[in-house]
């Protein structure tokens, strides 16, 4: 249904041989030693040795990077499970955050199975033909903003998995795609969102999708909100979403200057041992590219974080619009391994050090209970 970013992926054996042949790798003896050192240090399989490219000669600060399980478990000490629904359900997220006048993408329609809601009106759609008509209507009504609509699953969907973009012209030109979409949409709940128009600079960097900044924020026990880190995600495979799991890459952002760092990363299964310094399609060099409205984007996520004090570690997706940053979503269970990589090791990050300090206290408390 999606114009899928399905280039072939590398097998573990292919990755293994790429590492062996990588001119930038450390010596075999050193790699074996470091691998086992990390294995015993953390007591878990050190996947980070590969996924954070620690086998490369330039990576000498091994202990600044954290293994997956450690990073995964840490988040759950900071976020109240009962509250997470407000972020994980994209409809509740909109209802909750809209009251604070934050800039959010506009919802044009939503549904639960065959029941659809537009504004204050609810109605039944019982055929794909009716669905096509309504879809065309909502796009036309909003045509001053965009000639397409973003359709995304309301709950329990991550990584861009159930996010689709439909252009008005496709409704008549590609009816079988819309039929498939109708089947998918009426199985559960979806929202139909206005397509964000991104800032020209980000469009130039990669025009296939809205390239978002992934920020993570921390609320300390006194309620002080801080932004931990940020990286910019973009597709490099002409995909309509920027998620790394669907063929995206990402580059860290310097928190003080709002400029892109030098190196861009993807998954080993997609790009092998290659570290990018420019966008593979547009060839735009990452280093020092200044993100527009970066300070405003930081302020936006800090405000949003402060309104939900029971969720203290959040990964936010922020689009940079033509005139302002737009908050697409917040994730209470975000993949913080990306931040570990883009920061050159989370341990080097001053705010993350505070998170770790509190984590050690919380862990001790939990063991004592």
Ligand X SMILES: Nc1ncnc2c1ncn2[C@@H]1O[C@H](COP(=O)(O)OP(=O)(O)O)[C@@H](O)[C@H]1O
Interface residues with Mg ion (CB under 5 A) are 317
200 binds ligand X (CB under 6 A): no
Closer Cβ to Mg ion, 54 or 241, answer by number: 241
217's contact among Mg ion, ligand X, none, with CB below 5 to 8 A by partner kind, is: none
The span from the CA of 215 to the CA of 207, in Å, is 21
The span from the CA of 357 to the CA of 345, in Å, is 16
196's contact among Mg ion, ligand X, none, with CB below 5 to 8 A by partner kind, is: ligand X
Residue 32 β-bridge partners: none
Q: Are 346 and 64 in contact, with CB atoms under 8 Å apart? A: yes
Task: Write the DSSP string, 121-174.
Answer: EEEE--SHHHHHHHHHHHHHHTTTT-SEEEEEESBS--TTTTEEEEEHHHHHH-
Minimum distance from residue 159 beta carbon to ligand X (Å): 5
Closer Cβ to ligand X, 180 or 203, answer by number: 203
The span from the CA of 244 to the CA of 238, in Å, is 13
Minimum distance from residue 286 beta carbon to ligand X (Å): 18
Minimum distance from residue 253 beta carbon to Mg ion (Å): 17
Closer Cβ to ligand X, 196 or 249, answer by number: 196
Closer Cβ to ligand X, 22 or 161, answer by number: 161
CA distances from 11 to 21, 129, 270, 272, 283 (A): 15, 43, 10, 10, 27
CA distances from 192 to 22, 52, 137, 150, 325 (A): 45, 36, 12, 6, 20
Q: Are 260 and 253 in contact, with CB atoms under 8 Å apart? A: yes
Closer Cβ to Mg ion, 15 or 104, answer by number: 104
340 binds ligand X (CB under 6 A): no
Closer Cβ to Mg ion, 34 or 94, answer by number: 94
Segment 81-140, which members bind ligand X (CB under 6 A)?
105
150 binds ligand X (CB under 6 A): yes
Minimum distance from residue 356 beta carbon to Mg ion (Å): 25
Contact positions vs ligand X (CB under 6 A)? 105, 150, 152, 157-161, 163, 193, 195-196, 209-210, 212, 241-243, 317, 328-329
């Amino acid at each position: 249904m999606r114009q899928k970013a399905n280039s072939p992926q590398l097998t573990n054996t292919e990755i293994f041989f790429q590492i062996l042949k990588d001119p930038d790798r450390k010596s075999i003896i050193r790699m074996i030693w470091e691998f086992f050192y990390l294995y015993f240090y953390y007591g878990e399989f050190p996947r980070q040795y590969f996924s954070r490219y620690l086998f490369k000669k330039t990576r000498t600060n091994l202990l600044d990077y954290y293994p997956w399980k450690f990073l995964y478990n840490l988040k759950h000490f900071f976020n109240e499970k009962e509250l997470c629904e407000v972020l994980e359900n994209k409809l509740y997220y909109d209802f909750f955050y809209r009251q604070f006048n934050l800039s959010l993408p506009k919802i044009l329609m939503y549904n639960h199975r065959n029941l659809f809601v537009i504004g204050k009106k609810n109605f039944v759609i019982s055929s794909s033909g009716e669905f096509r008509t309504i879809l065309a209507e909502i796009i036309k009504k909003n045509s001053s903003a965009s000639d397409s609509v973003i359709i995304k699953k309301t709950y329990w969907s991550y990584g861009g998995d159930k996010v689709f973009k439909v252009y008005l012209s496709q409704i008549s030109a590609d009816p079988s795609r819309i039929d498939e979409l109708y089947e998918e949409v009426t199985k559960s709940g979806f929202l139909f969102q206005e397509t964000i128009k991104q800032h020209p600079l980000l469009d130039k960097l990669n025009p296939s999708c809205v390239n978002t900044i992934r920020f993570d924020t921390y609320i300390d026990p006194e309620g002080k909100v801080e932004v931990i880190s940020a990286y910019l995600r973009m597709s490099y495979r002409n995909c309509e979403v920027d998620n790394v799991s669907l063929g995206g890459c990402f580059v860290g952002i310097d928190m003080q200057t709002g400029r892109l760092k030098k190196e861009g990363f993807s998954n080993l299964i997609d790009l092998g041992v290659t570290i990018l310094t420019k966008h593979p399609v547009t060839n735009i060099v990452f280093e020092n590219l200044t993100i527009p409205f970066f300070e405003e984007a930081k302020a936006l996520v800090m405000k949003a974080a402060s309104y939900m004090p029971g969720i203290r570690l959040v990964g936010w997706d922020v689009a940079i619009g033509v005139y302002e940053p737009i908050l697409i979503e917040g994730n209470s269970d975000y993949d913080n391994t990306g931040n570990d990589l883009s920061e050159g090791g989370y341990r080097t990050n001053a705010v993350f050090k505070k998170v770790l300090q509190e984590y050690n206290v919380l862990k001790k408390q939990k063991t004592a209970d």
